[in-house]
Amino acid sequence: MHQLLLVEDDPAIAQPLQRALSREGFDVVHVDRGNDAVERALAGDIDLVVLDLTLPDLDGLDVCRQIRASNRTLPILMLTARSDELDIVVGFDAGADDYVAKPFSIAELTARVRARLRNTVAAESTIEAQDIRVDLEAHRVWRGEEELHLTPKEFELLTLLAAEAGRVVPRQRILTEVWEDDFYATSRSLDVHVSALRRKLGDPPDHPRYVTTVRGVGFRFEAEAP
């Protein structure tokens, strides 16, 4: 599960936004002050920052600059009521990766968050979990020294799960991100592909080493061998 840092000082916005993002499968940490945001963002376990520009102590732009000075890769998505082009440019110059202008829909914000997280994973050419290595650029997978031959959907499924190693990935998120606009994809389709992927990974169905089923939720790629 990706951990988001929500930096918003207005409880009327922060509380429903935190609940909505949690329902979308994110672990959301909320702070309402800029100095706290900088400290929490640099703690090392945050995957993306959702940052309001208007804060009671530090301006959001200053928060963005301080985070960016110490961490060049942590995605920062600005929430702003300022829709003027100059303000947006200043935000990007401060180090933000994207922005959402208020008022916004949860669907729009969630889509932008997921897109930014995907871009972060894609920027890393290799994903490694246990003895599995996924080369994103070459579209190849190895288990130890053995190369595995996966179908495109199996490759996308493994990429998503391995990138989230140790975290549960909900079924609906997998269907949305791997099958995208395929309206005929079902939970059954997902189960079939997981079974095929497990066979190619050499995962025994009764005691899986790699892909574990979390009943009623989704699947988890184990960060360490059981």
For position 226, what pLDDT does the model report?
75
4 forms beta bridges with: 28, 48
Question: What is the C-alpha separation between 60 and 52, in angstroms, rounded?
Answer: 6
- 6-37 residue pLDDT tens: 999 999 999 999 999 998 889 999 999 999 99
Does 40 or 121 have the greater pLDDT score?
40
118-142 exposure pattern, b = at least 16 Cβ within 10 A, e = fewer: eebeeeeeebebbebbbebeeeebe
* CA distances, 88 to each of 33, 55, 61, 217 (Å): 21, 17, 11, 38
> 212: which strand partners?
220
Angle between helices 187-201 and 171-179 (to 10 degrees): 90
Q: What is the pTM of this model?
A: 0.60
Alpha-carbon dihedral 139, 46, 49, 167, rounded to 10 degrees: 50
Class of residue 159 by CB neighbours under 10 A (exposed 0-12, middle 13-18, buried 19+): buried
Q: pLDDT by residue (tens digit) across 144-177?
A: 999 999 999 999 999 999 988 888 888 888 888 8
Write out pLDDT tens, residues 109-143. 888 898 888 777 665 678 889 999 999 888 899 99
190: pLDDT strictly greater than 60: yes
SS3 of the chain: the string is CCEEEEECCCHHHHHHHHHHHHHCCCEEEEECCHHHHHHHHCCCCCCEEEEECCCCCCCHHHHHHHHHHHCCCCCEEEEECCCCHHHHHHHHHHCCCEEEECCCCHHHHHHHHHHHHHHHHHHCCEEEECCEEEECCCCEEEECCEEECCCHHHHHHHHHHHHCCCCEEEHHHHHHHHHCCCCCCCHHHHHHHHHHHHHHHCCCCCCCCCEEEECCCEEEECCCCC
Quote the tokens at residue 165: 């190693």
Identify the structural domains of the chain with CATH numbers, from first to last: 3-122 (3.40.50.2300), 125-221 (1.10.10.10)
